Structure 1
Amino acid sequence: MNGLRPAMTSLFEQLGLDSGEAAITEFIGTHQLDAGTLITQATYWSEAQRQFLEEKIRSDGEWAIVVDQLNEALHEDSLK
């Protein structure tokens, strides 16, 4: 990534999803998870996407931070 820190747009690109700001906002709004569902357990991920997310979480590096941010965003409704 040319030394740049991963960002949400980069994560969406890596997942093969539209990485535009509006698309990210829509994805998060329409893919909310209940409090008991881990991000890697969401039924909408392909196996490759699930493996990517699991690998980045385990790596505990900069990508893990971005995945955690996505995780928090996908659980926003369950916190209300």
Structure 2
Amino acid sequence: MHPHRHPLHLLFAQLGLAADHASIDAFIRTHAPLPPAVRLEDAPFWRPAQSELLREERDEDADWAEAVDLLDAELRRAP
């Protein structure tokens, strides 16, 4: 049985952010690159509830963990 995987645009929707391709690209361009010493969920641009969601999903290796890891990787790339 394969775990359920969520695409990145659904993670954005879950975070209460615009989830269309252009908005996701703009978000990543605006906030990348995230410094190596900053954990994704501790980045200053998240609201507290967003940060908590990201932390919980990663810590629990939950259904959303793969999408969270993908977002983290995208935000680590230099523009």
User: Which TM-score band applies after superposition, normalised by the shorter structure?
Assistant: 0.7 to 0.9
Q: Comparing both structures, which one devotes a greater share of its residues to helix? A: 1
Counting only pairs closer than 5 Å after superposition, residues 34-53 of structure 1 correspond to structure 2 as 34-53=35-54
Q: Structure 1 runs of 4+ off > 2 angstroms?
A: none
Q: Mind listing any 5+ residue stretches in structure 1 that lack a counterpart?
A: none
Report the Cα offset of residue 34 of structure 1: 1.3
TM-score when normalising by structure 2: 0.87
**Contact conserved, 2:35 with 2:76, CA < 8 A, in 1?**
yes
Report the Cα offset of residue 37 of structure 1: 1.1
TM-score when normalising by structure 1: 0.86
Q: Mind listing any 5+ residue stretches in structure 2 that lack a counterpart?
A: none
RMSD: 1.5
Aligned residues: 75
Counting only pairs closer than 5 Å after superposition, residues 1-80 of structure 1 correspond to structure 2 as 5-32=5-32, 33-77=34-78
Q: Distance in 2 between matches of 1:42 and 1:18?
A: 18
**Contact conserved, 2:9 with 2:20, CA < 8 A, in 1?**
yes
Q: Distance in 1 between matches of 2:24 and 2:36?
A: 20
